[in-house]
Structure 1
Amino acid sequence: MQIEPIFLTPIFQERIWGGTKLAERFGYSIPSPHTGECWAVSAHPNGQTVIKNGPFQGMTLGQLWEERRDLFGHFPSDRFPLLTKILDANADLSVQVHPDDAYAQKHENGELGKTECWYIIDCKQGAELVYGHHAKTKEELKEMMEQGQWDKLLRKVPIKPGDFFYVPSGTMHALCEGTLVLETQQSSDTTYRVYDYDRVDSNGKKRELHLDKAFDVITVPHRDAAVHPRVTQMDGAVVTTFIESDYFGVQKWEVDGTAEFEQTRHFLIVSILAGQGELVSGERSYILKKGDHFILPHQFGRFAIKGTLEAISSWPRA
């Protein structure tokens, strides 16, 4: 039996900072005008994507992971390791930090830590994000947090479409208003909220902060994660390798024409961000359009992509 791509149906999470760009940009049917997150490829218990084609249609990704580990190259993990999202920051996200694996294992019921990265799909003119802080010591960090000196503490970085940021656990960070991002991360939903601009929800309540845990895990002083993209010109495509970290690798594929690829990883996650085309494997072809997300299983082998499109691909690293 020929191995097929595994296409997935995204699920959506409403957020206080969400908007409508997931519908406007990708044509998704979203639950409300405050939809902040598209969980595109997820086997996390807080939101599982469902397979929409082939012999496994109707199964959750988590079910497939448990029952057919061979499709994932028997990747050495007790759970599906990655989570791919698209985030619509219609308003500023809270300033937050994530724990590493060891801290999460101990304090979050065996949850994974959360190292992530962002590809800026689009953003408004003059947009920026919070990436790190200016405190030199833990004592200075604690003092500035307690005194609410956020303008002085937070490090803001200008951004533009096409930028890439690697966000290791321990990094204080936040997306800001007017930003649309593809996020690749460890499969974790653990977030420690540090500052939320004193916002209140529809019931007039402020959202919970997690200052003690955040203080435990924030890296001091802040260190920028080194990102050195490698650009490869090939027939029909430009491939940019952004990162190959301890947890995942991430590439951008810019296809214009016909490009030949080979799937040599445990498995490969692909998200189509713009354009359209088709994936050709053996005698079969599959239509690709923006907003599609799929997995190329282990030993998928050689394939071609025809058309004009932009995609982000990612894979786990043991």
Structure 2
Amino acid sequence: MYNEPIFLKPVFKDRIWGGTKLREEFGYEIPTETTGECWGISAHPNGPSTVMNGPLAGKTLDVLWNEHRELFGNQEGNDFPLLVKILDAKTDLSVQVHPDDAYAREVEGEAFGKTECWYVIDCDPGAKLVYGHHADTKEEFKQMVEENKWDELLRTVEIQPGDFVYVPNGTIHAIGAGTMILETQQSSDVTYRVYDYDRRDDEGNPRELHIEKSIKVAMIPHEDASFSPVRTAVSDLNVRKLVQENYFTVYRWTLEGTAGKIDNPHYLLVSVIEGQGEINVGDETFSFEKGDHFIVPSTVSRFGLRGNARFIASHPTVL
């Protein structure tokens, strides 16, 4: 039986809005000076993570899902369901929206649509997000887009470090400049751009927009998603359940000392966003530090933690 955490090597993505904070804050070896995304836990074909330790070292996460389903509680499905990223938004991301599962499968051939959520690791003072809009009908939305009434259409909210934002499919949204987030999402790479500040690509061409598809999948009128965070504790581990919904359950863990007996009823995706320490499985000890991403497989029923650190942890929701 596989009895250790699975540490993963991330995949990095160059983005027009990216910068260098993934290197400065996490010590990653980024490929460009405009690196916007770290895909820390990914089995998506556009960037699967690679196992770094143990007898499965060198295999990618999609291969583990296909060949070693026991590590994931023998969960059904052809595709690994979640994707965990860290995003460095040096400048504004495009205003965008994502489809639901049915639309993504029918129109894009993707396994999943995209519901996501964001934990704000850090941001500049006064940083903002686009979250929702002010149109009451699809006709009104389309008219305001055609008339470039973006200030009237888009709803903005200020953020600060430690904020959490839940973004169901169909939500018009954008991450603002000067923001670093950890994103937990369905394993999908389908994005429809509504507005991109008239930016151009490296060849001087306007970036592609997807207005018609956006209007088809957008939530109109907008409604804020409701969720209720819950606090619990395991010894020196403070656990805050940030959201539990149909696709994922996400937690913020704060470790200040030792938590010796943590039950693992699912497989857990864990990202270290601050600090360092050790994870204990049986008689074995494995070190972790800021920027590490690992999976605690279903074959590990209980584990311990020691150190001072903050994590974002998640698992597929079992309803």
Gaps of 5+ in 1: none
| Alignment of structure 1 residues 295-310 onto 2, 5 Å | 295-310=295-310
Letter in 1 for 2:169: S
Give, in whole Å, the separation in 2 of the partners of 1:64 and 1:76: 14
Deviation at 1:233, TM superposition (A): 3.4
Residue 35 of structure 2 corresponds to 35
Paired residue for 2:169? Answer: 169
- Per the TM alignment, residue 261 of structure 1 is displaced from its structure 2 partner at its CA by 4.2
CA distance in 2, matches of 1:261, 1:163: 28
Please state if 1:157 is matched with 2:126: no
The aligned runs of 1:60-209 (5 Å cut-off) are 60-209=60-209
Q: Which AA in structure 2 matches 1:80?
A: F
- Deviations 1:259-303 (CA, angstroms, capped at 9, x unpaired): 134343331000000001101111100001000000011131221
The Cα of 1:234 is off from its aligned counterpart by: 3.5
How far does residue 3 in structure 1 lie from its aligned partner after superposition?
1.1
* Corresponding position of 2:224: 224
- Which residue identity lines up with residue 120 of structure 1 in the other structure? V
- Letter of the 1:98 partner, please give it: H
Alpha-carbon distance in structure 2 between the residues aligned to 1:109 and 1:259: 43
Runs of 4+ aligned structure 1 residues displaced above 6 Å come to none
Instruction: Give the fraction of aligned pairs with identical amino acids, expressed as a percent.
Output: 55
Q: Give the partner amino acid of 2:158.
A: P
Pairwise CA distance, 1:84 = 0.3
Distance in 2 (CA, whole Å) between partners of 1:156 and 1:63 is 40
Q: Aligned AA for 1:102?
A: A
Q: Which runs of 5+ in 2 are unaligned?
A: none
Q: Does the CA contact (< 8 Å) of 1:246 and 1:317 recur in 2?
A: yes
> 2 CA distance for matches of 1:261 and 1:88?
34
Show the counterpart of 1:210.
210
Match of 1:283 in 2: 283
Structure 1: which amino acid aligns with 2:216?
Answer: D
What is the CA–CA distance in structure 1 between the aligned matches of 2:257 and 2:152, rounded to whole Å? 49
Corresponding residue pairs, total: 318
Equivalent-residue separation in structure 2 for 1:142 and 1:65 (angstroms): 41
1:314 aligns with 2:314: yes
Q: Distance in 1 between matches of 2:217 and 2:261?
A: 40
Aligned amino acid, residue 112 of structure 1 = F
Return the alpha-carbon distance in structure 2 between the equivalents of residues 148 and 48 of structure 1. 38
Structure 1 counterpart of 2:236: 236
Is the 1:93–1:174 Cα contact (8 Å) retained in structure 2? yes
Shift of 1:110: 3.9
Corresponding residue of 1:49: 49
Classify 1:2/1:137 alpha carbon distance in 2 versus 1 (closer, same or farther; 3 Å): closer
1:90-134: CA deviations, max 9, x gaps? 000000000000111110114310000000000000111000001
Query: Match for residue 23 of structure 1?
Result: 23
SS of residue paired to 1:151 = helix
Name the SS for the 2:162 alignment partner. Answer: coil
Distance 1:4 1:231 in 2: 27
Q: C-alpha distance in 1, partners of 2:187/2:145?
A: 29
Mapped to 2, the partners of 1:38 and 1:21 lie a distance apart of 11
**What secondary structure is seen at the aligned counterpart in 1 of 2:141?**
helix
TM-score calculated relative to the size of structure 1: 0.98
Contact 2:2 2:71 in 1 (8 A): no
1:293 matched residue in structure 2: 293
**Structure 1 letter corresponding to 2:259:** A
One-letter code aligned to 2:83:
L
* Aligned counterparts of 2:191 and 2:296: Cα–Cα separation in 1: 29
CA distance in 2, matches of 1:96, 1:14: 18
After superposition, the CA RMSD in angstroms is: 1.0
Rounded Cα–Cα distance in structure 2 between residues aligned with 1:92 and 1:158: 14
